[in-house]
Amino acid sequence: MRELIEKLNKSTINLSKLEKKEALKFSKRLESYTHVPTNKKEIERMNSFISNEFLVSFVLQIIENYKYPRESKYPFDIISYWYCLCFLILSNQDKATEFSINLGNQFLEKNHNDLWQFRRLLEFIDNPKFKVLTKNIENYFLSKQNDLESYKWAKEIGLELPNDNNWALFFEISTDGRFRFGNDLTPKEKESRLRITTSVYPLQGRKCWEIELKNWNNTVSARWPTLSKNEIRLEKKRKNYVLKIEPSLRNLKLVIEELETILDTRFDKTMYMKRFKGKIKNKNAVKKWLLE
C-alpha cells in the first residue's frame, strides 16, 4: 500500500462511523489510480468528493503534515499526492486554496523537479484565484525555453514548436525501415534488427527529450539522457560500449553514424512511426532533416 494512503487510513481511527466510511471511500479511490492526473477528465475524477467539507478538511490536515514524496523512495505516493492536490484545488475552500497556492510558490522558488506537474495541472483549472500562480509558473518555463535542447533543435531544423505545455512528438526508425511485430521476426532478426525511438516534449523535471536504442530481445539497449549518459548495454559482449559522440537531439544523426560503425549495421532513416501532438507547425522538417 502507498504510504500516503496508509497514513490516510490510519488517521480515520478517531472519526465517527460515517466520517470513517467517507474517508476510506476516498482513499480506496486514490488507490485505484495508476498514474498522476494528466488531463481535465482525470482531474475531474475528484469532483464527486469536493462538496464534502469534512473530507476536504480531513485530507488537507493530512497533506499539510506530509512531506512531498521523493519519487525515488515512494514512486506511487506521487500519484496519490497529485490527486489529493486536485481534490483540494477543485474544492475551492479557502484553506485548501491557500495551501495549494503556497505549495505552488514553494515549487517555483525551489525550481522543483516536479514544477512541470503543477504547470500541467493548472492548465486545466479554471479558477481566478490561481491566475497569478499560473502566470508566474508559465513565465518560468518560457524563460527557460530558448536554452532547452528541444527548442534549439527545432529552430535549427525549421520545426515550429508552440509556447504552451500541450505538445509532444515521437518518431521511430530502424535498420529495416518498417514496422515489425516481434512474431514476424526470425531469431536472427530479433538480434540484428535495431530501432531508435525519439521523443521530444516540453520541459519535464530536467528533461525535454529521450532517445532509446534497442533490439527485440533486448541484448542491445541504451536510453539517453541517463546517468551513464554515453553508454550502450551490449549483453553478449564482455564490456558495454561508451559513445564518443554526446547523445542529444542535435547530435542524433552523428550518434546514428557512430552506432552504424560500432554495431556494423545501417539505419534506414525513414520514419515508419511518428506522432505529433499539439500546435506544431512545419512537421515535415523532421523528415527532411533526418534524410538530408
Each residue's pLDDT tens digit, 190-201: 999 999 999 999
What pLDDT, on a 0 to 100 scale, did the predictor assign at position 73?
Answer: 56
Confidence (pTM):
0.82
What pLDDT, on a 0 to 100 scale, did the predictor assign at position 72?
Answer: 45
What pLDDT, on a 0 to 100 scale, did the predictor assign at position 137?
Answer: 95
Enumerate residues 6+ apart whose C-beta is below 8 A from 139.
none
Burial of 196 (0-12, 13-18, 19+ CB in 10 A): buried
Let me know the angle formed at the C-alpha of 158 by 152 and 162, rounded to the nearest 5 degrees: 70
Measure the N-to-C terminal CA separation of the chain; round to a whole number of Å. Answer: 52
Distance CA 114, CA 102 (A): 15
Render 6-37 in DSSP notation, one character per residue: HHHHHTTTTS-HHHHHHHHHHHHHHHT--S--
The residue assigned the cell 485548501 is 96
Burial of 169 (0-12, 13-18, 19+ CB in 10 A): buried
Distance CA 5, CA 76 (A): 10
pLDDT < 50 stretches in the chain: 72, 227
Which H or E element spans position 287? Answer: helix 284-291
What pLDDT, on a 0 to 100 scale, did the predictor assign at position 1?
Answer: 53
